[in-house]
Amino acid sequence: MKQPTYYISQTTTAINANKIGELMPFLPDKRTLELHIMNETAMMKIEKGYSPKPIFVKVAPEEMDVMISAVKRKLKGFNLDRIPLRLQTKNLPIVIISKNQKDDST
């Protein structure tokens, strides 16, 4: 199945996330993205005022550090603790990759 092209953008610069090897295992495929968009569209029709939500991908803190370092090498000035992915550079993020926070309550 074809992989959608995801972009990481900051201010006026955007890079192709698909070209960063460290991110590839965590990028949702086309079918996952289509199902998510269908679900969010249905929720907007059911609930008035519903705001579509991105797909949240949680990864281990060590993996996240490696991914952020790889993004920083390609996108100068990147300083976020999560990686927002867009399908077009000016759109809202459709996927957000972030650290999986450990739950200390158990």
d(Cα 28, Cα 43) in Å, to the nearest integer?
Answer: 20
Q: Locate 9 and state its tokens.
A: 């953008």
Query: Tokens for 44?
Result: 């907007």
Is pLDDT above 80 for 2?
no
Question: What is the mean pLDDT of the segment spanning 57-70?
Answer: 95
Mean pLDDT, the chain, as a whole number?
90
Query: How many Å apart are CA 96 and CA 63, to the nearest integer?
Result: 14
What is the rounded average pLDDT of the residues 42-61? Answer: 94
Q: Cα angle at 18 between 93 and 7, to 5 degrees?
A: 30
pLDDT above 80 for 85: yes
Q: Alpha helices, DSSP H only, in 1-106?
A: 30-46, 61-74
Q: What is the pTM of this model?
A: 0.85
